[in-house]
C-alpha cells in the first residue's frame, strides 16, 4: 500500500522560502493555458491505480542538481553537482569515479541555492560534443549560461544576468525545445515577495523563461534572438524573453509527443504551482507577483490591463511540501500501458509523487501516487524515456518504477450548493481486504471555501487542505463497509466538491 511519510521540515531545503502573509481574496485569471478540447492521454488506467517506487542505483553524488541523457548510443546519464562538476553514470558500470568535466573555478556555490544548476545537450551532440550549462558565476553570483566543448575542454559564456542582491531564486533549468532553440529559466532575483518587482518587469531577465538561438551568433552576441520571440521590437523589453511572471521556475520540460511545455514554479509559501502551455505559446504572463497560484498575492505587483495565465495545478505547503520539483511527461515504452502521456512531478520536502494528465474536457486528472526519496532535486529521463531522479542529501541516483495497484478506498460525494454555502456528504468505502482501525482522510477544498461545521468527524482546515479524522463510533471500517461524514462550507463562487482524497496515506478512487 502507498504510504506517505513526512520527515519534518528541512532547514536547508533547496528553494524553500519565507512564508508570505495571507493573500487577499482570489480573483479570476483570464488566460487559460490550453484549449478546452485538450486531448486526454490514451492510457485508461485511473491515476489512483498507479503506484510509483524508486530503487537507488548510485551513491556518492555531492548535491546533484540535474540529469540528462546524451543520444549517442552509450546509454549514459550526465549528472550535475552543485559545486561545478558533471558526473557520468552507466547502468552496467555504475557511477564513474572521475568527473566528465569540472568548472568549479567558474562557479559560485555560496549559499544553498547557488552553484551548477542545469545542463542541456546539444541537438548535434554526436558532431559538436557540446554541452550547455546553467550556473551562478564567480565573482558575484550572476546567473549564466555557457557552452562547454568536451573535445576542447573549453567554456564559452553565452549569456548572463546579474543576480547579486540575494542568493536564492536562481531558476536554472536548460532545455532545447521542439523548435531547436535553447530555453532557460531564471528566478525573480530572490528575497521574499519579489522585492525587485522583477516578475512583471520587462527590462530584466529575472523572473522569466528565456529563448535564444545558440546555433549561430548575431553581431556582438554569441547567440541570436529568434525573430518570432514575442517581445522582439517592444520598447523597453528584453528581446530574449519568452515567458514572464515567474517566481522560481526551478524545473520545466517539453513533452516529446506534442511539444507542450510543463513548468513547476516554486511558490512564496502558500501555493506551489504547475503550468502547462501549448507548443509555441510564448509571450504569456504567468502572474507572479500579482498572483501566487490562483490567489491574488498581497503586496504583489499587478500591472493594469494585464491578462494572466493560470496554472493547471496548485497545492498548498500545508500538505508537508515546500518546493515543487517539476518533472516530465512519460513517453517511454516499459510503462506505456500504465501512464503514457502522464506528467510526473514531486516536492522537495514532502516527497509526494504527483501524476497529472488532461482529462479531455479542458481539465486535468490529478492524484498522489507514491513518494520519492527525500529531497529530490530533479527528474530526468533516458534516451528511451525511462525516469531517474537525483536527491540532494545524501546524494544519490534512483531509478523510478511504476505499477498498477488498485486503491483500497473509494469516496463518493454528494453536494448541495446554494448562494454562498454548500454542504458536502462523503461516503468512504474500504475496498481493500484488511480492516481499517482508525483513519485520517485528507483532501483539498476549492479556492475560497471555508468549513464552518462538520459531522461524524473531527475536522481541521489548514489553508485549503482538510484533515478529517474518525470519531469514536466510526473508527473501524471493515472490508466492503463504509462510513459517512460531511461538512458545511462557505464559498466565494466555487462550490465544487473535493477532487481527490487520501485515506491513511493511500490515494482513493473517487466516485460520483
Please give the C-alpha separations between residue 237 and each of 232, 403, 435, in angstroms, as whole numbers: 8, 48, 62
pLDDT of residue 512: 72
Whether 409-510 and 47-404 are alike in CATH topology: the answer is no
> What pLDDT, on a 0 to 100 scale, did the predictor assign at position 33?
59
Digit-coded pLDDT (tens) for 48-91: 999 999 999 999 999 999 999 999 999 999 999 999 999 999 99
Q: Are 77 and 382 in contact (CB under 8 A)?
A: yes
Which CATH superfamily is 47-404 part of?
TolB, C-terminal domain (2.120.10.30)
CATH number of this structure's domain 409-510:
2.60.40.290
Express each pLDDT in 84-124 by its tens digit: 999 999 999 999 999 999 999 999 999 999 999 999 999 99
Predicted confidence at residue 31, as pLDDT, reads 56
Q: Considering only 21-30, 233-242, 346-355, which range has the smallest mean pLDDT?
A: 21-30
What's the predicted TM-score (pTM) here? Answer: 0.92
- Average pLDDT (3-19) is 35
Model pLDDT, residue 435: 98
Quick one: CA torsion of 444, 290, 284, 347, rounded to 10 degrees?
-40
Pick from 189, 185, 205: nearest CA to 253: 185
Query: How would you label 124-153 residue by residue, b for 16+ Cβ within 10 Å and e otherwise?
Result: ebeeebbbbbbbbbbeebbbbbbbbebeee
Whole-Å CA distances, 323 to 133, 192, 289, 316: 22, 14, 17, 10
CB of 466 within 8 A of CB of 459? yes
In the chain, what percentage of residues exceed pLDDT 90?
A: 88
With 50 as the cut, is the pLDDT of residue 260 above it?
A: yes
The Cα-based distances of 253 to 123, 151, 221, 299, 381 in angstroms read 15, 28, 26, 30, 11
Mean pLDDT of 6-35: 42
Bigger pLDDT: 284 or 10?
284
Q: How far lies 56's CA from each of 61, 79, 88, 388, 398, in Å?
A: 12, 15, 15, 9, 4
Q: Where are the domains of the chain?
A: 47-404, 409-510
Amino acid at each position: 500500500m502507498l504510504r506517505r511519510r513526512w520527515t519534518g521540515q528541512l532547514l536547508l531545503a533547496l528553494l524553500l522560502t519565507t512564508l508570505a502573509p495571507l493573500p487577499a481574496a482570489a480573483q479570476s485569471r483570464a488566460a487559460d493555458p490550453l484549449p478546452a478540447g485538450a486531448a486526454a492521454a490514451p492510457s485508461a488506467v485511473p491515476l489512483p491505480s498507479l503506484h510509483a517506487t524508486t530503487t537507488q542505483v548510485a551513491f556518492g553524488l555531492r548535491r546533484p542538481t540535474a540529469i540528462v541523457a546524451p543520444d549517442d548510443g552509450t546509454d549514459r546519464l550526465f549528472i550535475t553537482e552543485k559545486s561545478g562538476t558533471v558526473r557520468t553514470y552507466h547502468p552496467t558500470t555504475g557511477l564513474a569515479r572521475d568527473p566528465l568535466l569540472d568548472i568549479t573555478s567558474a562557479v559560485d556555490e555560496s549559499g544553498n541555492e547557488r552553484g551548477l544548476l542545469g545542463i542541456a545537450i546539444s541537438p548535434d551532440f554526436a558532431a559538436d560534443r557540446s554541452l550547455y550549462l546553467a550556473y551562478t558565476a564567480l565573482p558575484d553570483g550572476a546567473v549564466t549560461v555557457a557552452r562547454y566543448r568536451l573535445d576542447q575542454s573549453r567554456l564559452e559564456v553565452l549569456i548572463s544576468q546579474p543576480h547579486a542582491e540575494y542568493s536564492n531564486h536562481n531558476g536554472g533549468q536548460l532545455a532545447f525545445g521542439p523548435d531547436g532553440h535553447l530555453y532557460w529559466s531564471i528566478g525573480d532575483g530572490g528575497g521574499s515577495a519579489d522585492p525587485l518587482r522583477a516578475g512583471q518587469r520587462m527590462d530584466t531577465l529575472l523572473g522569466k523563461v528565456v529563448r535564444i538561438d545558440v546555433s549561430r551568433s548575431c553581431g556582438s552576441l554569441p547567440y541570436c534572438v529568434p525573430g518570432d520571440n514575442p517581445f522582439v521590437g517592444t520598447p523597453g523589453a528584453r528581446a530574449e524573453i519568452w515567458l514572464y511572471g515567474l517566481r522560481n521556475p526551478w524545473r520545466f520540460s517539453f513533452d516529446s509527443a506534442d511539444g507542450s511545455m510543463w513548468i513547476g514554479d516554486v511558490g512564496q509559501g502558500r501555493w506551489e504551482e504547475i503550468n502547462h502551455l501549448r507548443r509555441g505559446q510564448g509571450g504569456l504572463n504567468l502572474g507572479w507577483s500579482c498572483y501566487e497560484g490562483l490567489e491574488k498575492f498581497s503586496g504583489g505587483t499587478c500591472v493594469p490591463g494585464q491578462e494572466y495565465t493560470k496554472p493547471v495545478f496548485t497545492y498548498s505547503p500545508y500538505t508537508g511540501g515546500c518546493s515543487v520539483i517539476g518533472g516530465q511527461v512519460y513517453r517511454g515504452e516499459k510503462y506505456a500501458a500504465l501512464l503514457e502521456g502522464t506528467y510526473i512531478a514531486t516536492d522537495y520536502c514532502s516527497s509526494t509523487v504527483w501524476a497529472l494528465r488532461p482529462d479531455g474536457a479542458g481539465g486535468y486528472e490529478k492524484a498522489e501516487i507514491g513518494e520519492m526519496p527525500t529531497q529530490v532535486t530533479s527528474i530526468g529521463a533516458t534516451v528511451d524515456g525511462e525516469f531517474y531522479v537525483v536527491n540532494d542529501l545524501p546524494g544519490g541516483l534512483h531509478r523510478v518504477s511504476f505499477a498498477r495497484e488498485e486503491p483500497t478506498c473509494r469516496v463518493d460525494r454528494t453536494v448541495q450548493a446554494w448562494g454562498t454555502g454548500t454542504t458536502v456528504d462523503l461516503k468512504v468505502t474500504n475496498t481493500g481486504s484488511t480492516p481499517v482501525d482508525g483513519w485520517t482522510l485528507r483532501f483539498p477544498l476549492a479556492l475560497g471555501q471555508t468549513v464552518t461545521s462538520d459531522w461524524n468527524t473531527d475536522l481541521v482546515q489548514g489553508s485549503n487542505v482538510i484533515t478529517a479524522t474518525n470519531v469514536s463510533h466510526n473508527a473501524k471500517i471493515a472490508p466492503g463497509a463504509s462510513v459517512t461524514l460531511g461538512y458545511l462550507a462557505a464559498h466565494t463562487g466555487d462550490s465544487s466538491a473535493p477532487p481527490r482524497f487520501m485515506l491513511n496515506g493511500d490515494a482513493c478512487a473517487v466516485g460520483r
